[in-house]
Structures are given as C-alpha cells and as structure tokens.
Structure 1
Amino acid sequence: MNASQRAAGPVLSLLAGLAALAASGMAAGAEETPLPKLGPDAVSLTADHGYMARAEAPDYWAFSGFVKPQVTGSACSVAAVTAAVNGLRGLPALAEEPVLTQPALLELVGDAEWARLSADEGDGVTFAQLERYARAALDAAGLAEARLDSFHPGDSSEAQLATLRTMLTENEASAEDVLLVYFNQGVVTGDWDGPHVSLIGAYDAAGDSVLVLEVDQEWYVPYWTTAPVLLEAMVKPTSAEHGPLEGETGGLVRIRR
C-alpha cells in the first residue's frame, strides 16, 4: 500500500461508515412510515356515500343508528349483537324506556363466559360462540321467535362467493333481517391482523360492494369493501398470537324476524 492509499484509507472508511448510517436511517424511516387509515381494499362511507343517495338501503337506516363503539377492546361481539337486537326491536316508544346498552345486554343474558371473553384483555369469541350468544341475546331480549342461521365458508371458492352474494342480496331487500359478520379486520382495512365482529349495513350489488358498520369506532367509521375481499377476510385463519382463537375462521350470522 503506498502513501496515498494509506491517506485515503481512513477517509474511505469514514465515508463508508456514514453511508451505512444513512442507509440504516433510511431503512428505519421506511419501517416507520405510517399506514393509511384504510388500505386499498376499503373505502370509508364518508368518502363514498353515493349508494345511500340512490338506494333505499333499509338495513343501513334500521341499524346504523344503534351501532355504538365497543365498550372494551374485546367486546366487538357484544356491540354487534346489541346493535342487531336494538335494530330489530326498533326505538322504544316511550320516553322512560332506554335503548339497550352493551352492559345491559350482558346483564340480561347473564352468561359469565361471554362477559369474561368480552372484558378488557379478554380473548374474544369464536364463530360458534357468536352464534350461541346471539341466540341467547335474542331469547333474553324478547325476540325468541327470531330465526338464526349462519354461513361459515371453508374456502374462498366461486361457489362460496356465490352463496355470500346471495345472502347479501337477500339481506338488502328489507330490514326484516340482519347480518353479523365475523372476519379478519386487517384483510379489509390493511392494519390489525385479528378476528373481529361487526354488522353488514348495505350491499351494492352493481358494484359488488359491502358496507361494514364498524363497532371498532376508536379507529374506524363505516367502510365499503368488495364481496371477494370480505370472503377472504372470513376464511383467513386467526394467527397464533391470538391464543385460544388460533385457527378460527369466520362467516355470517343471519337473524330474521
């Protein structure tokens, strides 16, 4: 190594070190880039409300006013079932009659397991538990004659997609029924990867768009997604980080008066 190379050595090392620091800083910056509120597969109702102006959207008007924020981070099933019960019963006729709240519904049903699963840091419910607790809520709230059935797809095939579209179309025809949806929220919103429950608010068959009436209102307002994306969100198995819910998949629970 000659003298000029010796002199250049420390300089080159310094430059290389600065370049490495800059690269690591850029990588860290890239990792910390905030995500948009909604990913490419969801559009907020505030940004796209044209369907409401041209369609009757009976479920939206019957149920959206009763969709309230879930009272804990694990109470999405309670919030969704409470909204469904209130929408089916309608606004109480008398001033002295309260609108059913989530704590009041839990007390009315009297199921300690549902209360525990829905409490702060609770595990949340499985799809089968959602079916069971929805039935119990209907019976306890004076809707024992309401019928309940479900759609629990095993895959995202065209046959399952056709069934989903049929149920959405039937549901959109009147406010005599309501759909609870159990799905992986992150597949739709592009953020949190975990199971979630909300209500279906409308279905625009021409655009194959489904309106989700979110109970996770700390983070979201109602949003549209497509039927194929919603189906993918239903069939995605829950990851291991969610403990007892690992492997759980979702679907629709339909309640009909």
Structure 2
Amino acid sequence: MTFLRTATLSIALLTANGAAIAADPPKPKLGADATPITADHAYLKTAAAPDYWAISPFYIHQQTSSACSLASVTIAVNTLRGLPAMAEDTLVTQDNLLEATKDERWAEQAADEGDGVTFADLTEDTAQSLKAFNIDAKVEAAQPTKDTTATLDAFRALLAANEESAKDLMLVYFNQGVVTGDWDGPHVSPIGAYDAATDRVLIMDVDREWYVPYWTKTETLFKALERPAPADQGVLTGETGGWVHITMK
C-alpha cells in the first residue's frame, strides 16, 4: 500500500574501531512461499483459466507508491466492462477512474506516499467504481478476522467457484510480505487463477516495479489476509485484510 522500501546492499559496515560487520546478504526476489509465473505456468497451458485470460489484457501497475487499490479496481472495471466497441471510447485508467468517482478521499489515499485504503474503503471504492461505469454487478466482501464464516474452507470454495468463469473476479487485501518474504504491510491485487489440484492461488500483483504474477498456497494467502498491519503503517496500523468478490448480475 505505502511502499517504504530500501534496497538491500551487499556491503560491510565498519564499527568505530574499524572492525568489519557483515551486512545482511541480499534477499531473493521472492521467498519460499511464492513462485513467479515465469518459473511455473503449466496450469495456464492446460486449464481454461478464464479469469487469467480476461484480466491479462488489462493488467496494469500501480501508478504511485500507494495506488494498489486504485490499480486493482481499475483492472476489475476494465475486465468486467470489456474492450469498448467504439474508437472514441478509452479504456479505464487510474486517473479517469478517480475523475469518474469524484472521490477526494480515495485520491488522497492513493497519491504518492498516501496513507492507502482500509479494507472497508476498498469495498466502497469497488462498488462506486462499478456504478460510475454503469457495470451492473454485485460486490460482496469478507474479512476473516471479523467474520466467523470467512474461513479457509470458505475461501477455497469461493476460489474454486470463481475459477469457473470470467463473469466474476476477486480482489484480495493482504499482507504482501507474508507471501513474498519482503515488505511487511497491506496490499491489494486481483486473483488471476486458482489451481485446485495444487491448492495454489495466482496473484496478479500490481506492484509491478518489483514483481510479476506469482503463485502461493491458499493457506499462505489466508494467513496474509489475517495479519494485522504493523505499527509503522500509520492510520492502517492493525488493519487486517480479506477478499472482495465481484459478480456480474
């Protein structure tokens, strides 16, 4: 959401008396709980994967350090709206989505170094964005730390149902570091696919300065939904995540 990243440098530090202290070794791009699509795309070669192919043409990067919600909802609106038929009609961009919703709160949260959105904000932003572009869809949200019915089994069942067609899609609000092994903070991205045989989810991460889409175990992602934002996340401190399910009516 708000990315206060620093690159890890492989250098030695010196103490006051000149003794060397080894710096932390550089981290791999992804930790053990994430597999990039560049290394594993077998599922996409054998399964229909309707959501992945529907989302891919509209897959974009977040335009600021805090615009993951804005990028994710823009992807959702474009995917469900489809390619406009007429030459004069543009695709939905992050900027014209903000213009269409006229939401000053969201614009401030999604600005560079903005606070980022809460889970409740994401749900509201999704609903108002669909309405702004006349997309007749139902928005349902669930937050495991607050909803006793939002269990891991329920999440798996919804992922499986969502994988059946491109008439619905899911956004997840999750702790990115639980999955990637790096930055510890809240993040939003769409779900691209669910491989039930391996119980893995494909996250179409909009943090494209750093990542490509990656697979992670459903259980790992569920833990990322439950992890509270750490104390350095300002107004989002303690915020937990969940999923937003959008279904065309």
TM norm structure 2: 0.90
In structure 2, which of residues 151, 158, 162 is the aligned counterpart of residue 171 of structure 1? 162
In 1, distance between residues paired with 2:31 and 2:156?
A: 23
Partner of 1:138: 130
Query: Where do residues 224-243 of structure 1 align in structure 2 (5 Å cutoff)?
Result: 224-243=215-234
In 1, distance between residues paired with 2:239 and 2:144?
A: 12
Cα 1:122/1:91, change in 2 over 3 Å: same
In structure 2, which of residues 188, 197, 200 is the aligned counterpart of residue 206 of structure 1? 197
Partner of 2:22: 28
* Structure number, greater radius of gyration: 1
Matched, 1:184 2:175: yes
In 2, distance between residues paired with 1:177 and 1:72?
A: 27
Q: CA deviation at 1:64?
A: 1.9
Structure 2: runs of 5 or more not aligned = 1-16
Partner of 1:7: none
Local SS of the residue matching 2:228: coil
Local SS of the residue matching 2:151: helix
Local SS of the residue matching 1:122: coil
Matched, 1:37 2:25: no
Local SS of the residue matching 2:112: coil
In 2, distance between residues paired with 1:219 and 1:195?
A: 15
In 2, distance between residues paired with 1:41 and 1:187?
A: 8
Partner of 2:116: 124
Partner of 1:112: 104
Is contact 2:143-2:150 (8 Å) kept?
Answer: no
The amino acid of 1:28's aligned partner reads A
In 2, distance between residues paired with 1:123 and 1:206?
A: 38
Local SS of the residue matching 1:131: helix
In 2, distance between residues paired with 1:96 and 1:190?
A: 44
Q: CA deviation at 1:159?
A: 7.4
The amino acid of 1:215's aligned partner reads V
In structure 2, which of residues 152, 158, 165 is the aligned counterpart of residue 161 of structure 1? 152
Local SS of the residue matching 2:22: helix
The amino acid of 1:244's aligned partner reads V
Cα 1:93/1:39, change in 2 over 3 Å: same
Is contact 1:67-1:214 (8 Å) kept?
Answer: no
In 2, distance between residues paired with 1:230 and 1:122?
A: 25
Over the matched positions of the two proteins, sequence identity in percent amounts to 55
In 1, distance between residues paired with 2:91 and 2:52?
A: 18
Q: CA deviation at 1:97?
A: 1.6
Partner of 1:100: 92
Cα 1:55/1:93, change in 2 over 3 Å: same
Q: CA deviation at 1:167?
A: 0.8
RMSD: 1.8
CA shift digits 1:103-123 (9 cap, x unpaired): 010000000000000001100
Local SS of the residue matching 1:203: strand
In structure 1, which of residues 150, 164, 169 is the aligned counterpart of residue 141 of structure 2? 150
Cα 1:47/1:111, change in 2 over 3 Å: same
In 1, distance between residues paired with 2:102 and 2:149?
A: 40
CA shift digits 1:2-36 (9 cap, x unpaired): xxxxxxxxxxxxxxxxxxx89x63x423x2x1110
Query: Where do residues 10-29 of structure 1 align in structure 2 (5 Å cutoff)?
Result: 25=20, 27-29=21-23
Matched, 1:52 2:37: no
Count residues in correspondence. Answer: 232
In 2, distance between residues paired with 1:202 and 1:221?
A: 14
In 1, distance between residues paired with 2:140 and 2:201?
A: 20
Query: Where do residues 65-84 of structure 1 align in structure 2 (5 Å cutoff)?
Result: 65-84=57-76
